[in-house]
Amino acid sequence: MRLRNITGSREMIAESRFVVHEPQEYKGRWRELFSNDHPLRIEIGMGKGRFIMDLARMHPEINYVGIEKYSSVLLRGIQKMETDPLPNLYFIRMEAEEIADVFGREEVERIYLNFSDPWPKDRHAKRRLPSREFLKRYDEILVRDGVIEFKTDNEDLFRFALEEIAPAGWQLLQMTEDLHHDEKMLAGNVMTEYEEKFSALGNPIYKYVIAR
């Protein structure tokens, strides 16, 4: 998602108390930031942040970090936090490739990937967030019994993601090719902005849950 470049969005982010500006400094010490030892769950590619904000509101006993690479998009999340601040949620503006520099070994309890960029060209496969290259990074930061939950409406990306699981040493726990008509997997579902948009167009939503 790339919004029109909003003038000053970088400056507004630099001043925001909802953004962690030097996230590498918290590697292995995220508990100190939240001042508690609650589990930490992260969304990579949070966009405007509706999903992670809804989760943080519903689960004050869990800590959340939302990661987004574009300032103009992240700014929308910051604006929402200004009217509805949540003590158990912070944002980071960063490229997800650096994730293992920001979180320590087994520091993250769950990872959410929602409507990740498809990078359709073969030569860009490594940039896809559910690729084996990224699964290796997630392996470094996720607790042993931690899970990754991935949703998308992009069939090609989903098929690719399924094929990456075994070679990367992960296991499929649950999957559906039509989340909104899968009673079991739909229970407790929190919609993302993209999910609402694409399901309204009639696109089925694919979802998997994987672990090691």
Active site (catalytic) residues: 117
Write out 149-176 in H/E/C secondary structure. EEEECCHHHHHHHHHHHCCCCCEEEEEE
23 in contact with ligand SAH (CB under 6 A)? no
Strands 40-44 and 108-114: parallel
**Closest distance of CB 13 from ligand SAH, Å:** 14
Nearest in space to 67 (alpha carbons), one of 124, 6, 7, 26: 26
Q: Which is nearer to ligand SAH, 17 or 126 (CB)?
A: 126
Rounded CA gap, 204 and 186, in Å? Answer: 13
Rounded CA gap, 58 and 116, in Å? Answer: 23
Q: Which is nearer to ligand SAH, 18 or 194 (CB)?
A: 194
Q: Which is nearer to ligand SAH, 67 or 102 (CB)?
A: 67
Answer for which of 179, 192, 207, 210 binds ligand SAH (CB under 6 A) is: 192
Number of residues located near ligand SAH, criterion CB under 6 A: 19
| Residues linked to residue 152 through DSSP beta bridges, in sequence order | 206
First to last CA, the chain: 30
Q: Which is nearer to ligand SAH, 59 or 69 (CB)?
A: 69
Site for ligand SAH in 37-76 (CB under 6 A): 45-47, 67-70, 73
190 in contact with ligand SAH (CB under 6 A)? no
Site for ligand SAH in 76-115 (CB under 6 A): 95-96, 114-115
25 in contact with ligand SAH (CB under 6 A)? no
Site for ligand SAH in 147-186 (CB under 6 A): none
Site for ligand SAH in 108-127 (CB under 6 A): 114-117
**Closest distance of CB 65 from ligand SAH, Å:** 12
Encoding tokens for residue 185? 């997997």
Binding footprint of ligand SAH on the chain (CB under 6 A): 1, 45-47, 67-70, 73, 95-96, 114-117, 192-195
